[in-house]
Amino acid sequence: MSGAFYCLDNDIILKIATFDVFYDTLITLGTDASQVKILDTFKYKFQKQIQRTRGNRATSNSRYNVQKALEITQSIATISESDAEKFDTSIYTRLLNYSQNNNDNNTIDKGEAVLISHVCYLNQQGNTNYLLTGDKRCLKALTNSGFTDVIESLNGKVWCLEQLILKNIEEIGFDIIQAKIYPVRTCDSNIKFIFGYSEAASQEIVIEGLRNQKF
């Protein structure tokens, strides 16, 4: 088993939990929940959402299986803004300032800045650690930021949703993964497009779609 840590953003947690591939993903990456870190705000934010929408289905976020995501992450280690400030204030501050000062639609929010700065800090210690994110705007913003040291620290160490699904297909099998994802594909517009709108796409089309993603 790898000694690497895998830092997951809120979006990726919700989607791989809804797709029921959270534990499949850990297995294909050669790790387990003890090597996973998530934002400390995840449990608080979505537990509050469950409490607000309980008994009121009309206002619930039906795209995601929030309850399953909360159950999965119940005992997973968390990181916070104070951790980011403690470990590498420079990276965290630069990421936040970049988003505040740029005028395009691609931004790095506070949560992503926490995760990125934490992964960079861990990698500076000589280990190999990974960021798992479903936030494509963040990845585009990071690419455009000009922060060469941050980009180099994360080079080859970022997994997006499509890459994770492709890895699961390669390791577990297309039929098994398709059966899990297709019924709940609407939780991500790109995955819905790749796996098929009105009918399930073939293995060849799905794999080609996953491989051709550009960020």
Q: Phi, psi at residue 125, to the nearest 5°?
A: -85, 0
Assess contact for 122 and 156: CB atoms under 8 A: no
52-105: pLDDT as tens digits: 665 555 444 568 999 999 999 999 999 998 887 777 678 999 998 887 877 667
In this prediction, residue 59 carries a pLDDT of 42
* pLDDT at residue 129 is higher than 80: yes
- Of 28-37, 51-60, 126-135, 150-159, least confident by mean pLDDT is 51-60
| Domain presence at residue 1 | no
Q: Give the span between the Cα atoms of 44 and 25, in whole angstroms.
A: 24
Assess contact for 97 and 147: CB atoms under 8 A: no
Q: Give the span between the Cα atoms of 166 and 181, in whole angstroms.
A: 12
Q: Give the span between the Cα atoms of 135 and 153, in whole angstroms.
A: 18
* pLDDT at residue 120 is higher than 70: yes
| Domain presence at residue 32 | yes
Q: Give the span between the Cα atoms of 67 and 64, in whole angstroms.
A: 9
Which run of H or E residues covers position 165? helix 161-172
Domain residue limits at 68: 6-211
| Domain presence at residue 162 | yes
| Domain presence at residue 176 | yes
Residues in the chain: 215
- Average pLDDT, rounded, for the chain: 89
Residue type, 7: C
pTM (two decimals):
0.90
Q: Calculate what percentage of the chain has a pLDDT beyond 90.
A: 68
In this prediction, residue 44 carries a pLDDT of 83
Give the tokens for residue 125.
């210690």
Instruction: Give the closest residue to 104 by CA, choosing from 142, 132, 134.
Output: 142
* pLDDT at residue 51 is higher than 70: no
pLDDT bracket for residue 124 (50, 70, 90): confident
| Number of domains present in the structure of the chain | 1
Distance from CA of residue 63 to its chain's centroid? 16
Which alpha helices (H) appear in 19-147, and where do they start and end? Answer: 22-28, 41-53, 66-73, 81-87, 89-101, 110-124, 136-145
* pLDDT at residue 174 is higher than 70: yes
Distance from CA of residue 141 to its chain's centroid? 16
In this prediction, residue 116 carries a pLDDT of 95
Neighbours of 192 (CB within 10 A): 15
Residues 6 or more apart whose CB falls under 8 angstroms from that of 186 comprise 63, 192
In this prediction, residue 56 carries a pLDDT of 56
| Domain presence at residue 165 | yes
| Domain presence at residue 77 | yes
| Domain presence at residue 69 | yes
| Domain presence at residue 84 | yes
